[in-house]
Copies of this chain bind each other. A is one copy, B any other.
Amino acid sequence: MNRPPSALLKPRKAPQQARSAATLEAIHTATIQVLLAQGVGRLTTARVAERAGVSIGTMYQYYPHKQALLFSMIEQQLQTVANFMLDAAERLRGQEAGTVAEGLATAWLDAKTSESEAFRALYGMVAEFDLAEGMGKVLEQMTLVFSDLLAQAPDARFADRDSVAFMLAVLIGGSVRMVLDTAGSEENLARLRRELPRACRAYVMAAQQCSAG
């Protein structure tokens, strides 16, 4: 895939004087402004530099290339989410395992849905072009198929079968994609193979109405 070594993605240098710290700050806010005003497709070094009131060359003093700037901003946001989770974890310490699991899920959802519009636009860059639409369609299709299958199970007693089918598709699709995307090690792939079917079974069994018999 020819990725640049990760060292090249890091900022080129840290600011040594107040003037330069202000420049870096201006570049960052300019990036977000351009992103929100013009979208990812129009986020160019020239536009960011103009908005920040610096020359293009200045940007290249701090970041070796455009990707490094964007990567640095995303990484910062990822760390914010991670810290949010650490706080949540502290509050869950010592509670029962099931409650911990529930709490972590809720915390992650809260963290991600509260992310600023700007950073969601940054992630959107990752989707770049309309893969989202294609994936959405497949997800919809799978939900229908899964729901139909669940309906025909002899022990089927679901309060909201469509939601269970949807959740099943999202759990499967999301976790597989995440492991493959993060260049998952062989060990992690093996874990996924072992645990994902278990998790799906447990979820579906739990979603059955308790009065089943």
- Interface residues in chain A, defined as those with a beta carbon under 8 Å from any beta carbon in chain B: 1-4, 6, 9, 38-42, 67, 70-71, 74-75, 78-79, 81-82, 85-86, 89, 92-106, 108-109, 112-113, 120-121, 123-139, 141-142, 145-146, 148-150, 152-156, 163-164, 166-168, 170-183, 188-189, 191-208
Contacts and interface: CB of A to CB of B under 8 A. Distances in A.
A169 to B, nearest CB: 8
Nearest to A97: B153
Given A78-B138, A85-B145, A132-B183, 12 more contacts: A74-B131, A74-B134, A78-B137, A102-B201, A103-B197, A104-B172, A105-B197, A109-B196, A128-B128, A163-B191, A198-B207, A205-B206
A203 B204 contact: no
Contacts of A166: 188, 191, 195
Contacts of A3: 129-130
Contact of A170 (B67, B81, B145, B175): B175
Contacts of A149: 89, 92-93, 100, 104
Given A96-B153, A183-B136, A130 B175 contact: no
Contact of A98 (B6, B109, B201): B201
B171 A108 contact: no
Contacts of A171: 171, 174-175, 199
